[in-house]
Amino acid sequence: MNLNIDNIYHLITICLALLFSMYLFFNKTKERLGNIFLGYFILDFALESFDVLLSKTSFYTEHPNFYLIIPAFAFLIYPSWFFYIKTTAFKDYKLRKVDLLHLIPFIAITIIFLFSYHLQPDEIKLEIRTNPYNTPLFVSFIYYLLRIQGIVYGIWSIKIVYRFKKIVNENYSNINDKNYKWILQLTIVFVYFILTALVYNIFKFGFKELYEEQNIHHHISSIITLIFLSWIVYKGMSQPYLFNGVDSNIKLLEEYLKEKKGEEKKSKSNEITTQDSALKDKIEEYVITNKIYTNSSITLFELANGLGMSSYELSLFLNKTLNKNFFDYINEFRIKNAMEILQNPDKKNLTILEILYEVGFNSKSSFNTAFKKFTKQTPTQYRENTLKSRS
Protein backbone atom coordinates (compact mmCIF):
# COMPACT_ATOMS: atom_id res chain seq x y z
CA MET A 1 0.00 0.00 0.00
CA ASN A 2 1.50 3.30 -1.13
CA LEU A 3 1.51 6.32 1.17
CA ASN A 4 -0.28 8.64 -1.28
CA ILE A 5 -2.60 11.57 -0.50
CA ASP A 6 -5.70 9.38 -0.42
CA ASN A 7 -4.14 6.90 2.01
CA ILE A 8 -2.79 9.69 4.23
CA TYR A 9 -6.34 11.13 4.40
CA HIS A 10 -7.72 7.76 5.53
CA LEU A 11 -4.98 7.34 8.16
CA ILE A 12 -5.66 10.81 9.61
CA THR A 13 -9.40 10.09 9.62
CA ILE A 14 -8.87 6.81 11.47
CA CYS A 15 -6.72 8.45 14.16
CA LEU A 16 -9.03 11.42 14.71
CA ALA A 17 -12.22 9.36 14.67
CA LEU A 18 -10.87 6.67 17.00
CA LEU A 19 -9.53 9.15 19.55
CA PHE A 20 -12.69 11.26 19.73
CA SER A 21 -15.13 8.33 19.65
CA MET A 22 -13.26 6.68 22.53
CA TYR A 23 -13.39 9.97 24.43
CA LEU A 24 -17.17 10.12 23.92
CA PHE A 25 -17.70 6.47 24.84
CA PHE A 26 -15.81 6.62 28.13
CA ASN A 27 -16.40 10.22 29.24
CA LYS A 28 -19.12 9.93 31.92
CA THR A 29 -21.33 13.01 31.71
CA LYS A 30 -25.04 13.75 31.96
CA GLU A 31 -25.11 13.67 28.14
CA ARG A 32 -23.73 10.08 28.12
CA LEU A 33 -26.50 8.61 25.94
CA GLY A 34 -26.13 11.29 23.28
CA ASN A 35 -22.34 10.97 23.44
CA ILE A 36 -22.58 7.23 22.71
CA PHE A 37 -24.67 7.86 19.60
CA LEU A 38 -22.34 10.62 18.40
CA GLY A 39 -19.38 8.42 19.25
CA TYR A 40 -20.60 5.63 16.98
CA PHE A 41 -21.36 8.10 14.19
CA ILE A 42 -17.75 9.32 14.34
CA LEU A 43 -16.38 5.79 14.79
CA ASP A 44 -17.95 4.87 11.46
CA PHE A 45 -15.61 7.36 9.76
CA ALA A 46 -12.72 5.27 11.11
CA LEU A 47 -14.37 1.99 10.08
CA GLU A 48 -15.01 3.16 6.52
CA SER A 49 -11.46 4.46 6.12
CA PHE A 50 -10.11 1.23 7.60
CA ASP A 51 -12.23 -0.76 5.14
CA VAL A 52 -10.84 1.28 2.22
CA LEU A 53 -7.23 0.71 3.34
CA LEU A 54 -7.81 -3.03 3.79
CA SER A 55 -9.30 -3.15 0.28
CA LYS A 56 -6.00 -1.80 -1.09
CA THR A 57 -4.08 -4.69 0.45
CA SER A 58 -4.41 -8.44 -0.03
CA PHE A 59 -6.18 -8.85 3.32
CA TYR A 60 -9.70 -9.42 1.96
CA THR A 61 -8.34 -11.73 -0.75
CA GLU A 62 -6.54 -13.85 1.85
CA HIS A 63 -9.41 -13.60 4.37
CA PRO A 64 -12.58 -13.30 2.24
CA ASN A 65 -14.90 -13.97 5.20
CA PHE A 66 -14.07 -10.52 6.61
CA TYR A 67 -15.20 -8.78 3.42
CA LEU A 68 -18.55 -6.88 3.58
CA ILE A 69 -18.65 -6.97 7.40
CA ILE A 70 -17.86 -3.27 7.90
CA PRO A 71 -20.38 -2.10 5.24
CA ALA A 72 -23.16 -3.84 7.21
CA PHE A 73 -22.40 -1.68 10.25
CA ALA A 74 -22.89 1.40 8.06
CA PHE A 75 -26.64 0.80 8.47
CA LEU A 76 -26.29 1.90 12.08
CA ILE A 77 -24.71 5.26 11.28
CA TYR A 78 -27.92 7.09 10.30
CA PRO A 79 -29.97 5.80 13.27
CA SER A 80 -27.06 6.80 15.54
CA TRP A 81 -27.09 10.31 14.14
CA PHE A 82 -30.88 10.53 14.41
CA PHE A 83 -30.85 9.52 18.07
CA TYR A 84 -27.97 11.87 18.81
CA ILE A 85 -30.06 14.77 17.45
CA LYS A 86 -33.08 13.53 19.40
CA THR A 87 -31.31 13.10 22.74
CA THR A 88 -29.59 16.45 22.26
CA ALA A 89 -32.77 18.36 21.44
CA PHE A 90 -34.83 16.71 24.17
CA LYS A 91 -32.93 16.52 27.44
CA ASP A 92 -35.19 13.91 29.07
CA TYR A 93 -35.45 11.52 26.12
CA LYS A 94 -35.20 7.86 27.10
CA LEU A 95 -34.81 4.93 24.74
CA ARG A 96 -37.90 2.74 24.41
CA LYS A 97 -38.45 -0.83 23.24
CA VAL A 98 -39.99 0.46 20.02
CA ASP A 99 -36.66 2.11 19.18
CA LEU A 100 -35.24 -1.36 18.56
CA LEU A 101 -37.12 -1.26 15.24
CA HIS A 102 -34.32 0.99 13.97
CA LEU A 103 -32.05 -2.08 14.07
CA ILE A 104 -34.14 -3.89 11.44
CA PRO A 105 -32.19 -2.57 8.39
CA PHE A 106 -28.86 -3.59 9.98
CA ILE A 107 -30.17 -7.07 10.84
CA ALA A 108 -31.76 -7.51 7.39
CA ILE A 109 -28.58 -6.46 5.57
CA THR A 110 -26.46 -8.74 7.74
CA ILE A 111 -28.72 -11.66 6.78
CA ILE A 112 -28.55 -10.71 3.07
CA PHE A 113 -24.73 -10.56 3.21
CA LEU A 114 -24.69 -13.87 5.06
CA PHE A 115 -26.65 -15.79 2.42
CA SER A 116 -25.48 -13.87 -0.66
CA TYR A 117 -21.79 -13.82 0.22
CA HIS A 118 -20.53 -15.39 3.46
CA LEU A 119 -22.20 -18.80 2.91
CA GLN A 120 -21.14 -18.95 -0.74
CA PRO A 121 -18.18 -21.05 -1.96
CA ASP A 122 -14.73 -19.46 -1.79
CA GLU A 123 -14.46 -19.10 -5.58
CA ILE A 124 -17.64 -16.96 -5.68
CA LYS A 125 -16.36 -14.84 -2.79
CA LEU A 126 -13.09 -14.34 -4.65
CA GLU A 127 -14.93 -13.37 -7.83
CA ILE A 128 -16.98 -10.78 -5.96
CA ARG A 129 -13.88 -9.44 -4.23
CA THR A 130 -11.56 -9.22 -7.23
CA ASN A 131 -13.99 -7.77 -9.82
CA PRO A 132 -15.09 -4.36 -8.53
CA TYR A 133 -16.41 -3.39 -12.01
CA ASN A 134 -18.62 -6.46 -12.13
CA THR A 135 -20.31 -5.71 -8.84
CA PRO A 136 -23.07 -8.18 -7.89
CA LEU A 137 -26.59 -6.75 -7.93
CA PHE A 138 -27.08 -7.29 -4.20
CA VAL A 139 -24.01 -5.14 -3.37
CA SER A 140 -25.21 -2.27 -5.57
CA PHE A 141 -28.70 -2.60 -4.09
CA ILE A 142 -27.32 -2.47 -0.55
CA TYR A 143 -25.43 0.76 -1.18
CA TYR A 144 -28.48 2.40 -2.76
CA LEU A 145 -30.60 1.20 0.15
CA LEU A 146 -28.10 2.77 2.53
CA ARG A 147 -28.48 6.15 0.78
CA ILE A 148 -32.28 5.89 0.87
CA GLN A 149 -32.03 5.18 4.58
CA GLY A 150 -29.87 8.28 4.92
CA ILE A 151 -32.46 10.45 3.15
CA VAL A 152 -35.23 9.15 5.44
CA TYR A 153 -33.23 9.81 8.59
CA GLY A 154 -32.15 13.18 7.24
CA ILE A 155 -35.81 14.20 6.86
CA TRP A 156 -36.60 12.92 10.37
CA SER A 157 -33.66 14.87 11.79
CA ILE A 158 -34.84 18.08 10.12
CA LYS A 159 -38.30 17.51 11.61
CA ILE A 160 -36.76 17.22 15.09
CA VAL A 161 -34.89 20.51 14.66
CA TYR A 162 -38.09 22.16 13.40
CA ARG A 163 -40.08 20.81 16.36
CA PHE A 164 -37.38 21.91 18.79
CA LYS A 165 -37.46 25.46 17.44
CA LYS A 166 -41.27 25.62 17.65
CA ILE A 167 -41.26 24.32 21.25
CA VAL A 168 -38.70 26.96 22.22
CA ASN A 169 -40.69 29.75 20.58
CA GLU A 170 -43.93 28.68 22.24
CA ASN A 171 -42.62 27.89 25.72
CA TYR A 172 -39.25 29.54 26.40
CA SER A 173 -38.24 33.17 26.55
CA ASN A 174 -34.66 32.67 25.47
CA ILE A 175 -32.69 30.41 23.21
CA ASN A 176 -28.93 30.19 23.30
CA ASP A 177 -27.76 30.90 19.75
CA LYS A 178 -24.82 28.53 20.12
CA ASN A 179 -27.16 25.70 21.12
CA TYR A 180 -29.48 26.11 18.17
CA LYS A 181 -26.70 26.74 15.65
CA TRP A 182 -24.84 23.63 16.83
CA ILE A 183 -27.73 21.26 16.21
CA LEU A 184 -28.78 23.07 13.02
CA GLN A 185 -25.26 23.08 11.54
CA LEU A 186 -24.80 19.40 12.33
CA THR A 187 -28.10 18.54 10.67
CA ILE A 188 -27.30 20.60 7.56
CA VAL A 189 -23.88 18.96 7.17
CA PHE A 190 -25.47 15.57 7.83
CA VAL A 191 -27.89 16.14 4.93
CA TYR A 192 -24.94 17.28 2.79
CA PHE A 193 -23.15 13.97 3.38
CA ILE A 194 -26.29 12.02 2.56
CA LEU A 195 -26.64 13.79 -0.79
CA THR A 196 -22.95 13.66 -1.76
CA ALA A 197 -22.76 9.97 -0.86
CA LEU A 198 -25.84 9.36 -3.00
CA VAL A 199 -24.27 11.14 -5.99
CA TYR A 200 -20.98 9.26 -5.45
CA ASN A 201 -22.73 5.88 -5.49
CA ILE A 202 -24.83 6.78 -8.54
CA PHE A 203 -21.54 7.27 -10.40
CA LYS A 204 -19.93 4.19 -8.87
CA PHE A 205 -22.72 1.73 -9.58
CA GLY A 206 -24.84 3.46 -12.23
CA PHE A 207 -22.20 4.98 -14.54
CA LYS A 208 -19.20 2.72 -14.21
CA GLU A 209 -17.54 4.17 -17.29
CA LEU A 210 -17.43 7.57 -15.58
CA TYR A 211 -16.33 6.22 -12.21
CA GLU A 212 -12.64 6.76 -12.89
CA GLU A 213 -13.32 10.35 -13.99
CA GLN A 214 -14.81 11.46 -10.67
CA ASN A 215 -11.58 11.34 -8.66
CA ILE A 216 -11.66 15.12 -8.21
CA HIS A 217 -15.10 14.85 -6.64
CA HIS A 218 -13.80 12.10 -4.37
CA HIS A 219 -10.80 14.15 -3.20
CA ILE A 220 -12.89 17.28 -2.56
CA SER A 221 -15.44 15.21 -0.64
CA SER A 222 -12.64 13.63 1.39
CA ILE A 223 -11.20 17.04 2.35
CA ILE A 224 -14.64 18.33 3.39
CA THR A 225 -15.24 15.16 5.40
CA LEU A 226 -11.95 15.62 7.23
CA ILE A 227 -12.76 19.28 7.95
CA PHE A 228 -16.19 18.28 9.27
CA LEU A 229 -14.69 15.60 11.49
CA SER A 230 -12.07 18.03 12.84
CA TRP A 231 -14.82 20.58 13.51
CA ILE A 232 -16.85 18.07 15.54
CA VAL A 233 -13.75 17.11 17.53
CA TYR A 234 -12.96 20.78 18.24
CA LYS A 235 -16.54 21.56 19.30
CA GLY A 236 -16.79 18.48 21.46
CA MET A 237 -13.46 19.04 23.20
CA SER A 238 -13.78 22.80 23.70
CA GLN A 239 -17.48 22.88 24.63
CA PRO A 240 -18.44 19.48 26.09
CA TYR A 241 -21.64 20.84 27.63
CA LEU A 242 -22.64 22.88 24.62
CA PHE A 243 -26.28 22.02 24.47
CA ASN A 244 -29.23 22.11 26.89
CA GLY A 245 -32.28 20.40 25.45
CA VAL A 246 -35.94 21.12 26.00
CA ASP A 247 -38.62 19.01 27.66
CA SER A 248 -39.76 16.31 25.23
CA ASN A 249 -43.15 16.02 26.96
CA ILE A 250 -44.17 19.53 25.89
CA LYS A 251 -46.83 19.48 23.21
CA LEU A 252 -47.00 22.02 20.44
CA LEU A 253 -50.07 24.23 20.40
CA GLU A 254 -51.26 22.71 17.11
CA GLU A 255 -51.07 19.24 18.69
CA TYR A 256 -53.04 20.43 21.70
CA LEU A 257 -55.73 21.90 19.44
CA LYS A 258 -55.99 18.67 17.45
CA GLU A 259 -56.58 16.76 20.67
CA LYS A 260 -59.37 19.15 21.56
CA LYS A 261 -61.01 18.07 18.27
CA GLY A 262 -62.59 21.42 17.69
CA GLU A 263 -64.59 21.46 20.93
CA GLU A 264 -64.24 25.20 21.25
CA LYS A 265 -64.02 26.58 17.73
CA LYS A 266 -62.68 30.07 17.67
CA SER A 267 -64.43 32.83 15.70
CA LYS A 268 -62.76 33.65 12.38
CA SER A 269 -62.83 37.31 13.33
CA ASN A 270 -59.46 38.81 14.28
CA GLU A 271 -61.08 41.44 16.50
CA ILE A 272 -60.12 41.37 20.18
CA THR A 273 -63.21 41.11 22.38
CA THR A 274 -63.70 42.99 25.65
CA GLN A 275 -62.85 39.81 27.55
CA ASP A 276 -59.71 39.32 25.47
CA SER A 277 -58.69 42.93 26.03
CA ALA A 278 -59.09 42.53 29.79
CA LEU A 279 -56.94 39.38 29.76
CA LYS A 280 -54.34 41.15 27.60
CA ASP A 281 -54.14 44.01 30.12
CA LYS A 282 -53.94 41.54 33.01
CA ILE A 283 -51.00 39.69 31.48
CA GLU A 284 -49.14 42.89 30.59
CA GLU A 285 -49.63 44.31 34.08
CA TYR A 286 -48.34 41.12 35.68
CA VAL A 287 -45.29 40.97 33.39
CA ILE A 288 -44.38 44.65 33.87
CA THR A 289 -45.11 44.84 37.61
CA ASN A 290 -43.07 41.75 38.42
CA LYS A 291 -40.51 42.39 35.68
CA ILE A 292 -40.53 38.69 34.90
CA TYR A 293 -39.00 39.38 31.48
CA THR A 294 -35.69 40.18 33.22
CA ASN A 295 -35.48 36.50 34.14
CA SER A 296 -33.58 35.08 31.15
CA SER A 297 -34.92 31.56 31.79
CA ILE A 298 -38.60 32.43 32.31
CA THR A 299 -40.92 29.86 30.67
CA LEU A 300 -44.51 29.83 29.48
CA PHE A 301 -45.39 27.43 32.30
CA GLU A 302 -44.03 29.78 34.97
CA LEU A 303 -45.91 32.79 33.58
CA ALA A 304 -49.14 30.80 33.23
CA ASN A 305 -48.77 29.52 36.79
CA GLY A 306 -48.37 33.08 38.08
CA LEU A 307 -51.51 34.15 36.21
CA GLY A 308 -53.55 31.17 37.41
CA MET A 309 -53.91 29.79 33.87
CA SER A 310 -52.87 26.57 32.17
CA SER A 311 -49.88 26.84 29.86
CA TYR A 312 -52.01 25.79 26.89
CA GLU A 313 -54.64 28.46 27.63
CA LEU A 314 -51.94 31.12 27.73
CA SER A 315 -50.23 29.80 24.61
CA LEU A 316 -53.56 29.72 22.77
CA PHE A 317 -54.30 33.33 23.78
CA LEU A 318 -50.86 34.61 22.73
CA ASN A 319 -50.79 32.77 19.40
CA LYS A 320 -54.41 33.03 18.27
CA THR A 321 -55.48 36.35 19.79
CA LEU A 322 -52.26 38.39 19.89
CA ASN A 323 -50.59 36.56 16.97
CA LYS A 324 -47.34 36.17 18.96
CA ASN A 325 -45.52 33.19 20.33
CA PHE A 326 -44.17 33.29 23.89
CA PHE A 327 -40.60 33.90 22.73
CA ASP A 328 -41.53 37.05 20.76
CA TYR A 329 -44.04 38.23 23.39
CA ILE A 330 -41.47 38.30 26.23
CA ASN A 331 -38.75 39.70 24.00
CA GLU A 332 -40.99 42.65 23.15
CA PHE A 333 -40.99 43.70 26.81
CA ARG A 334 -37.23 43.28 26.94
CA ILE A 335 -36.71 45.40 23.84
CA LYS A 336 -38.99 48.16 25.14
CA ASN A 337 -37.08 48.19 28.43
CA ALA A 338 -33.77 48.28 26.51
CA MET A 339 -35.05 51.20 24.43
CA GLU A 340 -35.84 53.15 27.61
CA ILE A 341 -32.32 52.55 28.89
CA LEU A 342 -30.73 53.50 25.57
CA GLN A 343 -32.78 56.73 25.50
CA ASN A 344 -31.68 57.70 29.00
CA PRO A 345 -28.68 60.13 28.92
CA ASP A 346 -27.86 59.19 32.52
CA LYS A 347 -27.22 55.60 31.42
CA LYS A 348 -25.16 56.33 28.33
CA ASN A 349 -22.09 54.79 30.00
CA LEU A 350 -23.76 51.39 30.20
CA THR A 351 -22.43 49.00 27.56
CA ILE A 352 -24.75 47.13 25.22
CA LEU A 353 -23.68 43.90 26.94
CA GLU A 354 -24.69 45.26 30.36
CA ILE A 355 -28.04 46.40 29.00
CA LEU A 356 -28.92 43.12 27.32
CA TYR A 357 -28.23 41.18 30.51
CA GLU A 358 -30.22 43.69 32.56
CA VAL A 359 -33.35 43.30 30.41
CA GLY A 360 -33.21 39.48 30.32
CA PHE A 361 -31.26 38.45 27.22
CA ASN A 362 -28.37 35.99 27.57
CA SER A 363 -26.75 36.44 24.17
CA LYS A 364 -25.55 39.50 22.27
CA SER A 365 -26.45 38.03 18.89
CA SER A 366 -30.02 37.16 19.95
CA PHE A 367 -30.42 40.64 21.48
CA ASN A 368 -29.20 42.38 18.31
CA THR A 369 -31.46 40.22 16.13
CA ALA A 370 -34.55 40.86 18.28
CA PHE A 371 -33.80 44.58 18.64
CA LYS A 372 -33.34 45.09 14.90
CA LYS A 373 -36.50 43.11 14.17
CA PHE A 374 -38.48 45.43 16.48
CA THR A 375 -36.85 48.81 15.72
CA LYS A 376 -35.19 48.30 12.28
CA GLN A 377 -31.95 49.55 13.91
CA THR A 378 -29.12 48.03 15.88
CA PRO A 379 -28.95 48.98 19.61
CA THR A 380 -25.90 51.20 18.96
CA GLN A 381 -27.59 52.99 16.07
CA TYR A 382 -30.75 53.50 18.12
CA ARG A 383 -28.80 55.00 21.04
CA GLU A 384 -26.80 57.33 18.80
CA ASN A 385 -29.86 58.53 16.86
CA THR A 386 -31.96 59.02 19.97
CA LEU A 387 -29.36 60.93 21.98
CA LYS A 388 -28.42 63.00 18.90
CA SER A 389 -32.06 64.08 18.36
CA ARG A 390 -32.29 65.23 21.97
CA SER A 391 -29.14 67.32 21.92
Give the pLDDT of residue 336.
Answer: 94
For the cut 50, the answer to whether the pLDDT of residue 27 exceeds it is: yes
Total Cβ atoms within 10 A of residue 291 = 12
Pick the CATH number of 268-390 from 2.60.40.420, 1.20.1250.20, 1.10.10.60, 1.20.1420.30: 1.10.10.60
CA distances for 266 relative to 179, 318, 360, angstroms: 36, 14, 33
pTM recorded for the entire structure: 0.74
Q: What is the per-residue pLDDT for 29?
A: 67
- Number of neighbours of residue 290 by Cβ within 10 angstroms: 12
260: pLDDT strictly greater than 60:
yes
pLDDT at position 210: 46
- Rounded distance, CA 77 to CA 41, Å? 5
3-state secondary structure of 70: helix
For residues 211 and 321, the model is more confident at 321
Residue 242: the pLDDT is 47
pLDDT above 70: residue 391: no
pLDDT for the residue 76: 93
Q: Say what the pLDDT of residue 388 is.
A: 79
Is residue 13 very low, low, confident or very high in pLDDT (cuts 50, 70, 90)? confident
Task: With a cut of 50, say whether residue 382 has pLDDT above it.
Answer: yes
Residue 133 has pLDDT above 60, yes or no: no
pLDDT of the residue at 103:
95
Which DSSP helix (H) or strand (E) runs through 212? none
Terminal Cα distance for the chain, rounded: 77
The residue with greater pLDDT, 285 or 56, is 285
Q: What is the pLDDT of residue 211?
A: 47
Task: Give me the pLDDT at residue 191, please.
Answer: 74
Which pLDDT score is estimated for 33? 81
Note the pLDDT tens digit of each residue in 188-221.
Answer: 777 776 776 666 656 555 555 444 444 555 566 6
- Confidence at residue 384, expressed as pLDDT on a 0 to 100 scale: 87
Supply the DSSP symbol for 350: S
pLDDT at 267: 44
Q: Please compute the mean of the pLDDT values over residues 236-241 and round it to a whole number.
A: 56
State the DSSP code for 98: G
Tens digit of each residue's pLDDT (9 = 90 or more) over 46-101: 898 898 888 888 888 888 888 888 888 989 988 998 998 888 888 778 889 999 99
Mean pLDDT of 141-151: 82
pLDDT at 217: 55
Kindly report, residue by residue over 336-373, the tens digit of the pLDDT: 999 999 998 888 889 999 999 999 998 888 899 889 98
- In this prediction, residues 10-22 reach a mean pLDDT of 88
pLDDT score at 197: 65
> Would you list the domain boundaries of the chain?
5-238, 268-390
What span, in angstroms and rounded, lies between the C-alpha atoms of 113 and 106? 11
Mean pLDDT of 258-274: 57
Q: What is the pLDDT of residue 265?
A: 47
DSSP string, 273-326: PHHHHHHHHHHHHHHHHHTGGG-TT-BHHHHHHHHT--HHHHHHIIIIIS---H
pLDDT of amino acid 292: 93
